[in-house]
Structures are given as C-alpha cells and as structure tokens.
Structure 1
Amino acid sequence: MDRRNKRGLAASNHSSDEPHRESTPPQTLLHPISPPTKKRRLSEQSEQQEVAGAEQPRSPSKTPSQTFRSPFQLTRIQDLQDEFNKDTITLNDLLGDPLISECWNFNYLHDIDFLMEGFDEDVRDLVNVHVVHGFWRRDSESKKSLEEKASRRKNVTLHAAYLPNMFGTHHTKMLILLRRDDTAQVIIHTANMIARDWTNLTQAVWSSPLLPLKQPPTHPPVSAPPATQQSLSSPPGSGARFKADLLNYLQAYGNRCRRIIDELARYDFSAVRGALVASVPGKHSVDAATTRWGWAGMQQALENVPLSEGESEVVVQVSSIATLGGTDAWFRRTFCRAIGGGGAAFKVVFPTADEIRRSLDGYQSGASIHTKTQSAQQAKQLEYLRPVFCHWANDAPEGKAELGGDMLVKEAGRKRAAPHIKTYVRYGNKSDRSIDWAMVTSANLSKQAWGEATNAYGEMHIASYEIGVLVWPALFAQDATMAATFLRDTAQEDSVEDSPVVALRLPYNLPLQPYGSHEVPWAATAKHTEPDWMGGLWVGHS
C-alpha cells in the first residue's frame, strides 16, 4: 500500500466458526411471498418519494452507459498471481490510514498483535482500539488469552458481549473507524481477525463511504436515543434506515457500546447504499415495529427489492452449515420462504473434501469450514440438501455443470482459495443471469444465525450476533441492472448497455457444478486419510 501524507498527530481520546434445534412455522409463512416485479416496484418507489419526511434510497437519474464498481470487494490472496488479485483489498488497506483515531473491532476470533499490525506504524500506539468479543465466561481460556495480550497495550480495551444461549457465538465481523478529519467509516466483512483468514482464504469486504460529521462535538456527548419510529419509516436501503438499524444493533450490547453509539449518532449516513441485515441473541417478534433481526429482518428488507420476471434462483454460499433438523421443515418453510420470495429455486455452494485437499493451504483450510455428517439426523439432513449442493471450485471429476446450457465457464479466480466468505445472491432471468440482489454477511446457514421458526407467540429465537449488508441495483441508479463480474470489480465492457450497470464481484465460477450422486460436503470432524496436495493428512476435530 502506498504511504500516505501524514499530519502532525498527537494522542487522541477522540477454529471453528460456530458450535453446532425445530418448531411449526406460522400459518402466514405457508403462503408464498411474491414481491412486485421491477416495473411495478419502480412505479411504487416514485409514489413513495412524494411522501414528505421519509428519506428514500438514493436513485440518481439514468445516465447512458453509467457504471458502478462492485459494492463488495474480495480480499487479496497471498499465494495467487497478481492477475487473480486485481481490485482486491488487504487489512492494511482498511486500517493503514494515519488519520484513524479510534477503531471498534467486532469479531469471533481475535489476534490482537495481528490487528495492530494493520495500523500505520507511526500511529498504531495512538489509535484507541476497542475489541468486542464473545468470550464472557470467567473460566474461558480464550478470554484469559485475549486479556493477557490486551494487557500489553495501553490503547486496547476489551468488551465482552453477553451470550445467553450456550450454542450462540459473537460471530459478527465489523470495523467502525473514527478519523481525525471528522469522518467515520463502517466496514462489514467475513474474516476473523487472525492472520490465516487474511492470507489464503476467500473473504469479502463491504465498506461505507467516509461519513461526514453532521453535528459539532459536545462535551460531554449527548447519548443517542433509541432509533425512533420516524427514522425507521425510511425504507431499507436508505442511509437513514441503515443508520437506525446499526444503532439499534449496537444497543443490543448495552453499555459496552454506549460510546460508539454516541459517536455514530453525530454522523451523516445519507451516502450509504445498502440495507443492514443483522442478528442479535434473544426472543424477538417477527413483526416488531423496531428493527427486525435474522430471517425476519431479511424478509422485511426484501419486500422493497424489485424482482425480475421469469425463472430465478437464490445461491447461498457459506463456510458453515449447522444441524438444521432431520427434515427440511426449517430450511424450506422458514429460511427459504423468508429469502426466496417469488418461488425461486435454491442452491447451496459448499466445498467437498477433494476441493479442500486441493486448496492453497490443503487440509489446514478445512479448519475454518464446518458441517457434520456423522449422526443419523445429520445423514438425513445431507439427503435433503444433496440435490441443492454445488461445488465451490467447479472442477470436480464427478458431476456436470447443468446451469446455463452452452454458457462458457466464467472464471472467478478463487477456486483454490478455500471459502470463508458468505454470500447470498438472487439471480433473475436465466437467459441473461442478471442479479436481483446480493448480500455479504457473517451469517452461515444455521438456526443460531438466522433464528428458529416462529413460535405460538409470534416470536423467533436467535442465538448469535451476526451482521451483513444487502444491496440491489435500484439503490444505485434508476433502471439499473446488476451484472456478475469476474477477476475485477468493474463491469466487462461488452456487458455495459444503455442502462446503468452495477458490477457485482463473484467469488465462484459460473455456471455452478452440482454435486455428483456420491459426493459429500467437507466435514472437519471426519477423518481424511487421502493426502492433500502437500502430503498432509486430517485426523478430524470438533
């Protein structure tokens, strides 16, 4: 990274991803959810914009051949050639600006020394660093280790998020940066804050624009009130709604995050284009008047997204699949209905053991990728998921690519970099593979992350903290389309038409390759005796 010009600075005050339960869904979920088509949705948006006092998603006027860079970036892969690392990003790119004065790091796994190396060497001891983790039990060895490392640095403060559910994790991956030029930035990504996740594993990053200060500093700061109903009346995708949902998310931590809530309340989020989709532990109403969490929050956000006419499919690409149940009740009736309105087909991209063996780090990559197939219930789960499973690398000896017909394979350049990334993408009309919406998130395919089915009281239970960003083309320009891009963050020249185009950088090849009849997903708990490409074996671990 190029060295930046620096101003005179003074101290300022300013292993496994998830541990691995089902109830009857409500009658309202038994009906198909069919969001309006793009044509009708655009008409409704025009009517909504006449309502005073409600900020609408930014929709600039249509400009011929207008293009937008991908809202998601891939991280740089250490052992790949430069041609596969175009437009990628590193941790130092995110943290290396000497103007950063304060950093809030939310994550599951933390290496404090690695985190601190990301800051500019001349200011890393001046940045106020807050580490939010989920190791709250006093007897936790992870907590003790984290405390010992933090004690060596006077500018690092730890905050333990309370987790009431023994199966829950603090799985959110987010950075909030405050800067000396009176701007702030929110970064939502998929990597643990450890070296392995930022070297040879595929990860993704969403970064907000630099957010300007809209209120002068006050001494002492005035605590931000909970998001009001007026702010939540702004539609998902708008900056005002993103801010309200983010502040509501942070309020779930209680006093631990009071300072950063107070700070962020003073910044202008109007340049943000995206909807926050997050989860916080506890029981929540699926029809809450405040921010909705988990699958209910995703479903609410998608009600605003125009959908293409014709056949479509939702591709869920994750690094962990928990125990979903011996039947497909939760997967089909709760999860798929919440995120696949309009009758979309579903596919799940997950690597096989062969793909892990051939990855850059061999079996060691598999330590970060999880599902289980040993128990009778897990074996039943494998049977109902097998028809929707697709390869990560798309070059397996068994199986045949069936999507796209005579469509040429489009190379994403990440098939040997094992996936720790989590992406959810809805592809519209199969004839042009246009994209209706896309999301990068920390949430894997699990009840802990997305929430259980609704109970008799209209509530859903969530075990973990998660966070992600949902985007769709209408947020960027009127009549825009979203097109998949490969090996770059900008639209291919031959895909740019008269209407605006939003690029979306994909981490996997298209068309997808379904699993063969005998193939199974990688399971870190299983023993693998066939050597990986470096000659290593895998004894299996929980």
Structure 2
Amino acid sequence: MFRTLFIPSPSVFRTCRVQVSSLGTVVGITSSATANVHISAPCTPVLNMTEPSAKRRRLSHTEKDDTMKRSNEIPTSLSHPISPPRKRRTCERKLVKSPFQLTTIRDLPAESNIGAVSLHDLLGDPLIAECWEFNYLHDVDFLMSHFDEDTRSLVKVHIVHGFWKRDDMNRLSLEKQASQYKNVTLHTAYMPEMFGTHHSKMLVLFRHDDTAQVIIHTANMISQDWTNLTNGVWQTPRLPRLTESYKSSETDMRIGYGPRFKTDLLNYLRAYNTKRQTCKSLVDELEKYDFGAVRGALVASVPGRHDINEDDPRKTHWGWAGVKHALSPVPIQSGKSDIVVQISSIATLGATDTWLKHTLFGPLSSTKTSSSKPEFKIIFPCPDEIRRSLDGYASGASIHMKIQSATQTKQLQYMKPILYHWANDCEKGIIEEGEIRDGGRKRAAPHIKTYIRYNENKTIDWALLTSANISKQAWGEAAKTGQIRIASWEMGVLVWPELFADGARMVGTFKTDTPTKEDLDGNEPLVGLRIPYSLPLQRYGDDEVPWVATASYTEPDWMGRFWRD
C-alpha cells in the first residue's frame, strides 16, 4: 500500500510517497521534491499521513509560550555548584612523627634507614651562611666536606672544643687542620674542672633566608660516628627572625615550650663567656630569632658549682638538678613503669650504688604527681655484640666501661642485675616477654644516649636524647650545702606527648618515624618515638659481662680481627 508523508524542511514541506508492507516495513519511497530522504530502519505504519502536521498557534504578546520559557530557564539540577557527593564526616586520628631521628648507617639496607638523616642532610643546604659546631672530637676536613661544594668556602664555621692544654695532641691536630680553611675559627671552651670534657654535641645554623636552626645530636664530628655507629638527632624547625610585635610577648616560660627553651639555651651559651667572650656573638644573634614553634625542654650540663635552690623562673638548672626541674610538669601515667637508660659509656661511680640510685635515678624518677617508683634498666653492649657489629672490634673504641679495679668490680656487682643487651639476640641472654619489635640497629653499635620512661600500657611518658652518659662528671655530684658540682659540658632535649597535641599519647616506632593508627587503641593523637634498639629487652646472663675497651679479646670478630689493649 502507498501513503503520503509530509516531511518538513527549512523552507517548504515536501511530499513523499512511502510504500509500506503489511508488516509495517518501508519498502519504497518516491518524492515530489528534490529533498533526499533516508530511511535506515523498519518503522511502524503511520495513520492519516496525508494530513499535514499541525502548526503551532501564534501567540499574542500577552501570552507566554511555556516551551520558550522552559528553554530559557536553567534546570534546577544545574543551578547548584557541581561538587563530589558529601562524605560522612569522620574524625581522623592525628599522627605525629618522632621528634628524634636516627642517623643513617652506611652498611645497612635501605629499609633500616627510613627516616634517618645523614650529616650532609643537615649541612648540605647551600643557603647556610654560618655554622657553630660544638663537640668533643672534631675532624675539620670531614666536617667541611659535608657543606655544599659550591658554598663551603663561604660558610663562616666556628668550632667549639674543650682541649685547653696547648700541648694536647687533639688540639694540635685540630689547629693544623683548621689552618687550611680561611673561613674556620676555633674556640676553646672554658674548662674549670680538670677531669671534665667538652662533651656537648650541637650545631647552630644561620641561613641566608634569615632563618636559624638548632640541632642537638649524639655523634662526634668524625667519620666513624656518622658511618656505622647508631646515633640520634633532634632538630628545631627553621626559626624566623623576631618581629617587633612578638618581642614583647616572649613571656610564656612554661617548660617544654619555645620561649623557655630559648632562655635556657642562651643561658647555656653565656656560660662559655666566663673567662672570654667565646659565644657572645652567637648569643647576640640568636636573641633575634623566634623560638615559638620549638617543643622540647633543654637538659644540659655546665661545669662548675651551681646553686640548686634558686627560685628565679628564668634561671636554668644544670645536670641532675636540670632533669629533675624539666620533669616537674610532665604528667606520668599510673601503674608500673620502666626507665630504660641506654648509653655508650659508664664511668666509675663508686663501690656502692648510692650515687646511681639517689643522685641520678632519684631525679629521673621525679613526677608531677605521686606514682609508683619505676624500675631501671641499663642497655650496654657485651663483647659478643661488639664482635658482631658492622665495624667489629673497631666499634668498641667508642664504648667505655672499666671493671679492672676493686671498686669497679664492686660496681659491676650492683649494676649486673639491671644490665641489658643492645642487640637482644645473644645466646646467653635472658629474653623478656613481649611483642617482638625490631629497631633495625642490632649490628650498628650504639653511640646514641637515650633515657625513656615506658608505661605498662605500651606508651611512653617521656624521652630524653642527650650527650650525657652515666657519669658523675656529666650529671654532677650529690648536692652539698645547696650546690651541685659538674665537670663536663653536656647537651640534651627532653620531650613528652602533650607538647605536640592535647591529650596525645606517645608510642615507640621501629624502622620508621611515624606511628600508625593500629599502634594503640583509641582516637587520641599519637606521637611516635623512634626506638634505636629492639624489644623486648634481653637481660645479661649470669656469666656475661659488659664490653671493656681497655681489656684484651682473643676471640676474633666477624672480620677475623683481635682486640688488644
């Protein structure tokens, strides 16, 4: 059958005759006009196809065309800004990186050096304009090699040492090296105590962008300490110069916060100026910088006799009195706790444990509120751990304890029950119960010094990174007539969780600086603390003794070498 279909075009209606089968399929088209019509698919029969399409009625100016209205309006769905679907609001747990970092170890795999820092990381910035370096041992060539190669000759380098005897071989070597660099100046620290050492380890940097930085660490400025020995680092943020508006507001003298830290640091540096103006220019310059972002309490030692009953809030306490004062505002959780003292040297303390228990452990036990007394554990390596270390017996040259004299033998007897291994994988050691956590430094012998208070609920109340080992020279003698006597210069920083976030808790992190949400139940902020040794600890066996650098060892280390004093 045939039907007529009117197809509109831009100008006229053209008439086509469409042939449709009984099944509704178009089988042919003839057109009375020149327009081309293409049918590409079957269609259904169209009724009344001879009638033209109804024309739209013309509207008067008072009538509205709904079609035109709709075409001019923006659909409601498009009238809102396009954005992703709203997510259910969740409270993300705040995770804070460890305030302490480890130094890189050359001969360990990359996974053990995650988050670790090298000396070049600290000194390689080409913007460094001036560097003050405080330490016990110095290698000037080694130090200078870590500045940016294009600017190292332009950096003003000040080296503060404690070799006060003019014929000291260390001093003569230092002077010879320094003479090769026009930009290096040596400063001799005031040493009032004959048996003291300038043991502090600190860098103070000034940059061309008007920022400064203080770095407290545990490594001597020699190659061995920055290669295969375990050491630690604490850094301030980049400190901006003070603005006039802030200079009058440095009144927050709470322990652990920037203004107090700045006051204590400047008091420490002023102590060098007792006989000569060793650090006057450094003090004058640091006074111009804003320490507001710093979180940590300075715990240092200055040689000499010091009053310990001073109530002046701007006075700094030194040695064991200093750590006791710094711990006074630190909240301590209730329950059982351990203070783990990990050091690289133990001096001669006496035939009885009086000084150790009362003069050192007593202040370290100080709390803001009353709580049960902590147990103390001392981590120190044995000969087997030195033999198996990355540098073998050579590592032992930096680790000291003596047990030759009668007094030293008695000292070992009262210390033996609280001695623990560094590597916790010795055959004769007694391992404690607990989750195994690998610090990644078993074979890197310890030169780091840490004092950490662990709580029984797997958290940490506070942690101290310092140059101070267990010695009367470092921490001071017992107070007599209200005074403490200190022989050595030492430098450290104390941290605790609430410095970094309200209600925070601190947990140990292993092979990483950042805690995870799974490290502790709850939703409070978590602060990580990079732990250099492995847990659980391993106590010395009955017939084990600590490493003694002044002894001789005939059993070869892993490289086949022997150790003879």
Q: TM-score, normalised by structure 2?
A: 0.80
Are residues 1:243 and 2:262 paired? yes
Distance 2:250 2:338 in 1: 33
Q: Which residue of 1 aligns with 2:387?
A: 357
Q: Which residue of 2 aligns with 1:397?
A: 427
Are residues 1:427 and 2:454 paired? yes
Cα deviations by residue, 1:43-87 (Å, 9 ceiling, x for unpaired): xxxxxxxxxxxxxxxxxxxx7400100000000000001111111
Distance 2:251 2:472 in 1: 26
Structure number with larger C-alpha Rg: 2
Quick one: which amino acid aligns to residue 269 of structure 1?
A: F
Distance 1:472 1:293 in 2: 19
Q: Give the length in aligned residue pairs.
A: 462
Which of 133, 147, 164 in structure 1 is aligned with 2:192?
Answer: 164
Distance 1:392 1:438 in 2: 18
| Structure 1 residue ranges without an equivalent (≥5) | 1-62, 217-223
Distance 1:166 1:530 in 2: 37
Contact 2:134 2:161 in 1 (8 A): yes
Distance 1:298 1:242 in 2: 13
Displacement of 1:145: 1.1
Cα deviations by residue, 1:408-434 (Å, 9 ceiling, x for unpaired): 211011010000000000001x1x320
Which of 463, 472, 475 in structure 2 is aligned with 1:438?
Answer: 463
List structure 1 runs of 4+ shifted beyond 4 angstroms. 230-233
Contact 1:232 1:291 in 2 (8 A): no
Secondary structure of the structure 1 residue equivalent to 2:474: helix
Contact 2:97 2:514 in 1 (8 A): yes
Q: Which residue of 2 aligns with 1:13?
A: none
Which of 305, 313, 317 in structure 2 is aligned with 1:292?
Answer: 317
Quick one: which amino acid aligns to residue 269 of structure 2?
A: L
Secondary structure of the structure 2 residue equivalent to 1:295: helix
Quick one: which amino acid aligns to residue 252 of structure 1?
A: A
Are residues 1:111 and 2:139 paired? yes
Q: Which residue of 2 aligns with 1:253?
A: 272
Displacement of 1:508: 0.4
Q: 1:246 to 1:493 in 2, by over 3 A?
A: same
Q: Which residue of 2 aligns with 1:266?
A: 288
Q: Which residue of 1 aligns with 2:112?
A: 84
Displacement of 1:262: 0.4
Are residues 1:506 and 2:517 paired? no
Q: Which residue of 2 aligns with 1:281?
A: 303
Distance 1:307 1:232 in 2: 26
Secondary structure of the structure 1 residue equivalent to 2:215: strand
Displacement of 1:162: 1.8
Provide the alpha-carbon RMSD of the alignment.
Answer: 1.6
Secondary structure of the structure 2 residue equivalent to 1:252: helix
Displacement of 1:533: 0.6
Distance 1:64 1:310 in 2: 29
Distance 2:92 2:363 in 1: 35
Distance 2:251 2:162 in 1: 28
Which structure's residues are more often strand, by fraction?
A: 2
Displacement of 1:232: 8.4
Distance 1:495 1:531 in 2: 41
Which of 337, 340, 365 in structure 2 is aligned with 1:312?
Answer: 337
Distance 1:99 1:333 in 2: 47
Are residues 1:413 and 2:440 paired? yes
Secondary structure of the structure 2 residue equivalent to 1:186: strand
Displacement of 1:231: 6.7
Percent same amino acid at aligned positions? 59
Contact 1:64 1:500 in 2 (8 A): no
User: In terms of mean alpha carbon deviation, does 133-142 or 274-283 score higher?
Assistant: 133-142
Are residues 1:539 and 2:558 paired? no
Distance 2:113 2:234 in 1: 17
Q: 1:303 to 1:527 in 2, by over 3 A?
A: same
